[in-house]
């Protein structure tokens, strides 16, 4: 056990030493302006996203391309070091190891400036509080966990954000790109989309992040980023929240749904479709006569319920086999998009759908 903690301490010391070297020249960088060129910003978005995904081979390729665009070793090192606060030390350390390998393969790499030294008497807690307030758009205090509140203010937004290898705008582009690579962090992703705008990232620069991710083959991650941007801007979600296609508005069955749904036919032979439900959307109670319906949740969170039984939560990987003749409904949770694949099997003569009454609003509102 003692050797484990010693090893862990050395690993932490290495990452902070590698990433935190300082020179003795103070710069006057505008911390509220994105300093990357268009090509560098695209490369950095892909680098950060692959760091979060833990895909080292794709990360290595993205780092190579970033160097070709003119990113420096210290800019890349700084971004990967910062991300330990968002994706954890294991991913950050693995990514720094990949960066080190790429630098060894390339030989000559532009190192770029290191961070300027902190002024005498620097108060990380005070400065971090100011930075966090600007990023959030208002004072933020996490009273539920004072220790976490201190870490955010003094360490993340005080110590790390003060390092001028990257501007605050640069760091928010890195953070948005990385969080786009993680599932289950949409509230934080949306918060950092707002933070990026507050820190000087323009609408055009923000919109370029999912474009870069799509071009790198990171389709689901790009769609997740687009969904967060749309939510922050109060726009209707028009892109699929996953790699599955959104399809078209499900207008033919709209009268049997509360809220907006979308339908994408995936296979005309089997009739398999991807159905996308916006938050709060659900279909009416209904019955499939003389056929079994199979539902497979592939994204988001929702509910399935049979008449007289308790609701079943739908999460990615949940498979429901709806017996023929069973009254039921299914749809999204109130706070989440949901997608499921649907097809029919064991069809018998006389197969038909019978649409019934809407799901009671009061009953639905109790589902958490």
HEC assignment per residue over 311-356 = CEEECCCCEEEECCCCCEEEEECCCCCEEEEEEEECCCCCCEEEEC
Host domain of residue 340: 248-365
The whole-chain average pLDDT of the chain stands at: 90
The answer for residues whose C-beta is within 8 angstroms of residue 293's C-beta and 6 or more apart is: 321, 322, 342, 343, 344
- This model's pTM is above 0.85: no
Sign of torsion, CA 248 257 330 368?
A: positive
Q: Are 367 and 334 in contact (CB under 8 A)?
A: yes
Instruction: Residue 69: give its domain's CATH number.
Output: 1.20.1290.10
Domain final residue pick, 202, 232, 262: 232
Statement to judge: residues 208 and 72 lie in one domain: yes
Provide the 10 A C-beta neighbour count for residue 244: 20
pLDDT digit string, tens, across residues 210-255: 999 989 988 778 878 888 898 898 876 566 788 898 888 898 999 9
Structure tokens at 48: 């950060």
Q: Could you tell me the pLDDT band of residue 169, with boundaries at 50, 70 and 90?
A: very high
Mean pLDDT of 133-159: 94
Q: Does residue 341 form part of some domain?
A: yes
For residue 108, what are the CA distances in angstroms to 49, 102, 115?
A: 25, 11, 21
**H/E stretch holding 195:** helix 186-198
DSSP symbol at 243: S
pLDDT digit string, tens, across residues 275-305: 999 889 999 999 999 999 999 999 999 999 9
Q: Does residue 62 form part of some domain?
A: yes
pLDDT digit string, tens, across residues 99-125: 999 999 998 899 999 999 999 999 999
Query: For residue 25, is pLDDT > 90?
Result: no
Statement to judge: residues 224 and 259 lie in one domain: no
CA-wise closest residue to 253 among 261, 245, 242: 261
């Amino acid at each position: 056990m003692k050797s484990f903690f010693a090893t862990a301490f050395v690993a932490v010391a290495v990452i902070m030493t590698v990433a935190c070297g300082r020179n003795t020249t103070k710069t006057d960088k505008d911390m509220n302006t994105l300093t990357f060129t268009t090509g560098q910003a695209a490369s950095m978005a892909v680098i950060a996203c692959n760091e979060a995904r833990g895909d080292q081979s794709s990360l290595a390729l993205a780092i190579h391309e970033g160097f070709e665009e003119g990113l420096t070793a210290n800019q890349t090192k700084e971004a990967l070091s910062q991300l330990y606060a968002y994706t954890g030390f294991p991913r950050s350390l693995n990514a720094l190891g990949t960066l080190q390998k790429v630098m060894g393969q390339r030989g000559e790499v532009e190192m770029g400036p290191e961070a300027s030294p902190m002024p005498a008497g620097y108060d990380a807690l005070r400065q971090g509080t100011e930075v966090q307030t600007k990023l959030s758009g208002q004072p933020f205090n996490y009273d539920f966990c004072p220790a976490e509140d201190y870490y955010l203010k003094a360490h993340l937004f005080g110590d790390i954000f003060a390092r001028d290898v990257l501007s605050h705008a640069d760091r928010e582009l890195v953070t948005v790109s990385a969080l786009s690579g993680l599932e289950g962090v949409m509230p934080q992703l949306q918060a950092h989309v707002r933070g990026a705008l507050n820190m000087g990232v323009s609408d055009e620069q923000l919109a370029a992040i999912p474009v870069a991710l799509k071009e790198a083959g990171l389709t689901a991650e790009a769609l997740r980023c687009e969904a967060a941007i749309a939510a922050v801007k109060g726009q209707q979600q028009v892109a699929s929240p996953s790699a599955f296609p959104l399809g078209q508005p499900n207008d033919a069955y709209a009268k049997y749904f509360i809220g907006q749904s979308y339908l994408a036919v995936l296979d005309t032979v089997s009739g398999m479709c991807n159905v996308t439900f916006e938050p709060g959307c659900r279909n009416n109670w209904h019955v499939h006569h003389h056929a079994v319906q199979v539902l497979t949740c592939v994204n988001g969170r929702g509910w399935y319920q049979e008449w007289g039984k308790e609701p079943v939560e739908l999460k990615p990987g949940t498979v429901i086999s709806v017996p023929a003749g069973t009254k039921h409904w299914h749809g999204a949770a109130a706070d989440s998009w949901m997608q499921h694949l649907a097809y029919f099997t064991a069809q018998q003569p006389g197969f038909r759908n019978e649409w019934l009454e809407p799901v009671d609003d009061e009953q639905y509102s109790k589902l958490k």
